[in-house]
Amino acid sequence: MSIVRYAATLAKQPDGGYTVHFPDIPEAITEGDDREEALFNASEVLTLALAQRIEDKDPLPAGRKVRGGVWVEPSASVQAAVLVRQAREAEGKTLADVARAMRTSWPAVQRLERPGSNPTLRQLERAAAAMGKRLVVELR
């Protein structure tokens, strides 16, 4: 996986504005006065919901396409945490395995999987290499 994103559905409200729901993340609901504000708020609520799931060690569903839905991405810090965790799990590695490969402690690797820990690009590159991956940064 190279990007973390989830489909959101926007429902126009009779009194104006939009309500946003994420079928794969049911606790993430928001609204906005117009489409632009609703999508901005959707990214914020998705970031918070995924961060809470990570903190609670809950599973993170794969984002699936939804008819009439639009893709929404969480913050970069949540994307980094999710991608490191998913890559580690896909390789069948423990935090200790990755820590040994990076020549660091397992708490240091654990921090890479926490939103808001603000890892450096160098740390992310080393973690990716430890899992046989390569870090690629893209601006959209």
pLDDT digits (tens, 9 = 90+) for 54-85: 989 888 888 888 888 999 999 999 999 999 99
16 found inside a domain: yes
Instruction: Tell me: pLDDT of 116 over 90.
Output: no
* Distance, CA of 6 to CA of 45 (rounded, Å): 12
What is the dihedral angle through the alpha carbons of 115, 75, 52, 26, rounded to the nearest 10 degrees? -160
Instruction: Tell me: pLDDT of 1 over 60.
Output: no
Which pLDDT score, from 0 to 100, does residue 45 have? 98
Q: Looking at 26, 47, 72, which one is the last position of a domain?
A: 72
122 found inside a domain: yes
Same domain for 66 and 93, yes or no, is no
111 found inside a domain: yes
Same domain for 67 and 28, yes or no, is yes
What are the pLDDT digits (tens) for 9-56? Answer: 999 999 999 999 999 999 999 999 999 999 999 999 999 999 999 989
The number of domains in the chain is 2
Host domain of residue 41:
6-72
